[in-house]
Structure 1
Amino acid sequence: MPFLSQPLTLGAFFPALPLDSLLSTQGIMVLLLAAYAGAMWMFLTSAPKVHTIMVSDLESGRQFYEGVLGLAAAEVPLHYYYNYEQSLGATSVDPLYMSPGLGGPATATRNFNGTDGLWYQLKKNTQVHVISGASLGQKDRQRHVCFDRDCLEQVLMRVQTRGIKHKIRREKPLNFLVKDWEGRVIELAEVSN
């Protein structure tokens, strides 16, 4: 085993590349870009999945998600500080689901900051972002609107496991009613794009 007694050089790991080309300005830039790409990949794959739910009243939403469902408050994910969702165009909302006082989606987009609202931990790497903006439902019910079926299925499962009184009105799109501890009826509705 004579190779174990020999000291390893950088050229041993990159035999096809001469050492001077690896340590050139261009070689260092390529290595830095590869390191940056690896860091971004790790950052984005470790970021939690975030579901957004619009509610007609933020305070009753807080009472529902914290009190009734018992969800723990969560930290705002780092990628929301850099307006990640706004860069994807996720802030455009159909005016049908906006309350009249907000003045339509243009106002909501202009005034909405990605870190506003309430943040809850739904599962290990899944969070719920609760924001205001939904209109009241029939009979002035509190209304919670979500564009993601998976999110509402997880909320429904949480309602069922906690033994909370509920009624499924429709499977597709998912729509169900929940009665909170104060007797208020809350409508949770999936909105398909």
Structure 2
Amino acid sequence: MNFCLTVFDLPIAAIWQGLPLDSLVSTQGIMVLLLVAYAGAMWMFLTSAPKVHTVMVSDLNIAQQFYEGMLGLSAADIPLHYYYNYEQTMGTSMDPMMGMGSMPHPLESGAGIPEGLWYQLKKNTQLHVISGASRGHQNRQRHVCFDRDCLELLLMQVQTHGVRHKIRRERPLNFLVKDYDGEVIEMAEVAD
């Protein structure tokens, strides 16, 4: 019979007994303990934060009617990390479909709260809808996104709610939907 003990098999007290007390209370020991505690807190914060997909639209009012009315998405609270300017600043100075454009300056209102619409897509996934996309072909509404997963989730919502749609292209994903007013909305993935 061969026994091999690992650190995980020993009780915590046995591990602490092997460490001299003066090394734990030293400046270096306290700094290491603080760094470990900080790393643990950051890990908990980042793993609990929802994944946020961002979609740029040409008209926020029409987008709100579409996402709330037709897709039935519920409003979501702004994730805490967005209050601390974690927002990816993609597209804040240009329209990805038309080059340099006239998008309003960053995604914050005067109160420091990120602007736009926030929706819950699934349990730990949110949709952040911001203005900034130019109007598309034949002056149609356009919703653009750099993340294919986001558009696939939106397409699934469209199909689940029976919204009329037409897939124009698989790669990069591009599909059209019609809203209640019969207006065509183009959902487009921006390919790298």
Output the TM-score relative to the length of structure 1: 0.84
Q: Which amino acid aligns with 1:34?
A: V
Aligned position for 1:97: 97
- The CA deviation string for residues 107-145 of structure 1, in whole angstroms up to 9 with x for no partner, is x4x433372100000010000000000000111111000
- Among 37, 43, 46, the alignment partner of 1:44 is 46
Instruction: Indicate conservation of the 8 Å contact 2:166/2:176, yes or no.
Output: yes
Aligned position for 1:111: 106
Q: In the alignment, is residue 128 of structure 1 matched against residue 123 of structure 2?
A: no
Aligned position for 1:57: 59
By how many angstroms is 1:90 displaced? 3.5
Q: Which amino acid aligns with 1:137?
A: G
Residues 133 and 24 of structure 1: CA distance in aligned 2, closer, same or farther (over 3 Å)? same
Output the TM-score relative to the length of structure 2: 0.84
Aligned residues: 177
Instruction: Indicate conservation of the 8 Å contact 2:70/2:179, yes or no.
Output: yes
| 1:84 match: secondary structure | coil
CA distance in 1, matches of 2:92, 2:127: 18
Aligned position for 2:3: none
Residues 171 and 94 of structure 1: CA distance in aligned 2, closer, same or farther (over 3 Å)? farther
By how many angstroms is 1:93 displaced? 6.0
Runs of at least 4 residues of structure 1 off by over 3 A?
A: 10-13, 89-96
Gaps of 5+ in 2: 1-11
Instruction: Indicate conservation of the 8 Å contact 1:11/1:18, yes or no.
Output: no
CA distance in 1, matches of 2:134, 2:90: 19
What is the RMSD of the two structures over their aligned residues, measured on CA atoms?
2.2
| 1:178 match: secondary structure | strand
Gaps of 5+ in 1: 1-9
Aligned position for 2:82: 80
Instruction: Indicate conservation of the 8 Å contact 1:120/1:128, yes or no.
Output: yes
CA distance in 1, matches of 2:69, 2:106: 28
Aligned position for 1:149: 148
Aligned position for 2:36: 34
Instruction: Indicate conservation of the 8 Å contact 1:97/1:133, yes or no.
Output: no
Aligned position for 1:6: none
Residues 36 and 128 of structure 1: CA distance in aligned 2, closer, same or farther (over 3 Å)? same
- The CA deviation string for residues 39-91 of structure 1, in whole angstroms up to 9 with x for no partner, is 101110111100000000000010011111000000111111111134xx545
- The CA deviation string for residues 156-192 of structure 1, in whole angstroms up to 9 with x for no partner, is 0110011111111111111100011121111100001
